[in-house]
Structure 1
Amino acid sequence: MKIISTAVFCLMAGVLSAQSTQFIYEYKFKPDSLNREKVTLENMVLETKTEGSRFLSQKKIVEDSILDASLKQMNGGGGKPIDLTEIRQPAVRAEVSKKYPSYETVYKISPGSIPLAITLSKKPEWKVSKEKSEVLGHKVQKATTKFAGREWIAWFAPEIPIQDGPHQFYGLPGLIVKIEDSKKDHTFILVGTKKVTSSEPEKKHRITGREIVLDEEKFKKYWQDYRKDPVKDMRQAILSTSGAVVTSMTFNGKSYSQEEMMRESEKARKESLKNENNYLNLELYKP
């Protein structure tokens, strides 16, 4: 993608008029610390508004839009079949939101089927260097921090007067246009911008308001319990079901009993935990 320089020029005017700007980052990461040859790429979006920002996968935004349209179609009737073939599963399902001007940060994730909202209290403490460079046409300055169990090098653009950045990063006198950890396990780089006018309806997260709110310490306990029994939520949901009991389900032409579904889900979740272990925030996920 090309950087749209006019979006930067009009940035502050857009903020003041209730428009939002979407900063699009290429996120390159190594999900498995034991298989460092495997690299995953995902386009992420930092959407900034007057009240704050949210950071999530571009595919997740598309997925939400398709599901919203399908639900409206279903509720409106008409007998048209719902087509979900355009949905491409995002590699990153977590979302980070920040409130301005306090930069109160919330990390949203759904281990299994339970949506969680984790309030993050730790802030990145930056050391700003005099070293300057250029990233994709932006004049940038270097800053470093030890944060979330990793050492980070960031490049921020004073010409873009937003003290925000990808994921949990913020607090520099300009937008963070590139940041990566010292091992190059996680790298974010700005690849484009998009203006979104106030006339476009806001797409709210489908589960907002229904998450379980946890602080960092409670999440650590929750996560360790989840690792031991990743289908606990499914088991509890089955036990709490009143009325008709679903004894089997069919996927791709094959029927599965309730017990088979539990075994398959447990196998898939344990495999995911095994192969996706190189978390950006090591402190949050450490035992």
Structure 2
Amino acid sequence: MKKISILLLGLASQLFFAQATRFLYQVSMKIDSTNRNDVKTENAYLDINPEKSIFYGANRVKRDSILGRARQTGSFNFDRTQMQNLRSNIDFTIEKNSKTGVKTVQTRIAREQYSYDEDRPMDWKILPETAKIGEYKTQKAETNFAGRTWYAWFTTEIPFQDGPYKFSGLPGLIIKVEDSKGDYSFDLKETKKIAEVQTFNLTGNLIKLKRKDFEKQNALFKKDPVSFMQASMSSGRGNGPMRNTDPNQRKQMEERLKDEAKKNNNPIELQ
């Protein structure tokens, strides 16, 4: 009986550690510097298992689910308004490899999928200030990253040296992190066990670049999104969203892209 109990305990432990943990963050963003009263708020997840973590937007999962069902059934007569409401400013995923420390970003420019590895270190200064945030005792830390000064509150009560977005490397999970200007903040709202981390099916080709080359492509898109997409279609990469659309739809799309590029003038990374 004793051997059976030990065996069952061992199996239970294996099952527990085979699971992953999901952390729900509320993300607040001021993406338009000319209208600082307009605060965009979305939910995002950080899934962690012993091998890796992945950070992604909640709306991304919902959109992918709707599109996945549409592909399976061959019927794309879904609610366009619903899809518009699920448009996200967190249209990227960030995967952190626990063994190598490599952070891989996958995101879109127009309808092209790109990925790059983050090559900038994140050096933290742990400060003496402490605070109780929710049920957790936290300590403050500071770092300068990508043109912003960031303040984070981490807890050693959750032994993951990780956090939302690209933030990691503190001796505990980051519960809250915000920049000094108050433009962006990430606040932990919920924690739960899950069977496995979220996976995403890639549609089309993935273009892998160095970070600097990715930033050049992104700058070209922001400068003239329409010309960028037309050049992309001319090169034969993927199925551009302007392909096979009538002139009116194309004009509406061009206007929307220009308007979005104009308003999205305060990115999370300034350098």
CA deviation string 1:174-206 (max 9, x = no partner): 0000000011100100000121125xxx65323
* TM-score normalised by structure 2 residue count: 0.83
- Cα distance in structure 2, aligned partners of 1:247 and 1:144: 46
- Which residue in 2 is equivalent to 1:166? 164
- Which residue in 1 is equivalent to 2:212? 217
Matched, 1:40 2:40: yes
- Identity %, equivalent residues: 32
Count of residues in correspondence between the two structures: 250
- How far did 1:43 drift? 0.6
Matched, 1:195 2:193: yes
- Structure 1 contact 57–90 (Cα < 8 Å) conserved: no
Seen in structure 2, the aligned counterparts of structure 1 residues 123 and 236 have a Cα distance that, compared at 3 Å, is closer
1:127 to 125, 128, 134: 125
- How far did 1:264 drift? 3.0
Seen in structure 2, the aligned counterparts of structure 1 residues 56 and 171 have a Cα distance that, compared at 3 Å, is same
The SS at the match of 2:109 is coil
- Cα distance in structure 1, aligned partners of 2:185 and 2:15: 27
- Which residue in 2 is equivalent to 1:103? 101
Seen in structure 2, the aligned counterparts of structure 1 residues 56 and 266 have a Cα distance that, compared at 3 Å, is same
- Which residue in 1 is equivalent to 2:86? 89
1:201-280 correspondence to structure 2 within 5 Å: 203-207=198-202, 210-231=205-226, 232-237=228-233, 240=236, 249=245, 256-257=246-247, 260-280=248-268
- Structure 1 contact 30–39 (Cα < 8 Å) conserved: yes
Seen in structure 2, the aligned counterparts of structure 1 residues 267 and 210 have a Cα distance that, compared at 3 Å, is same
- Structure 1 contact 149–282 (Cα < 8 Å) conserved: yes
The SS at the match of 1:282 is coil
Q: Alignment RMSD, CA only?
A: 2.5
2:173 to 175, 178, 184: 175
- Cα distance in structure 2, aligned partners of 1:106 and 1:239: 26
- Which residue in 1 is equivalent to 2:114? 116
Give ranges in structure 2 of 5+ residues lacking alignment: 1-12
- How far did 1:213 drift? 1.1
- How far did 1:45 drift? 0.4
- How far did 1:82 drift? 5.6
- Which residue in 2 is equivalent to 1:9? none
- How far did 1:228 drift? 3.4
- Structure 1 contact 234–262 (Cα < 8 Å) conserved: no
- Cα distance in structure 2, aligned partners of 1:203 and 1:162: 18
Matched, 1:58 2:53: no
- Cα distance in structure 1, aligned partners of 2:30 and 2:119: 26
* TM-score normalised by structure 1 residue count: 0.78
Give ranges in structure 1 of 5+ residues lacking alignment: 1-12, 75-80, 250-255
The letter for the 2-side match of 1:233 is M
- Cα distance in structure 1, aligned partners of 2:230 and 2:29: 30
Seen in structure 2, the aligned counterparts of structure 1 residues 240 and 96 have a Cα distance that, compared at 3 Å, is closer
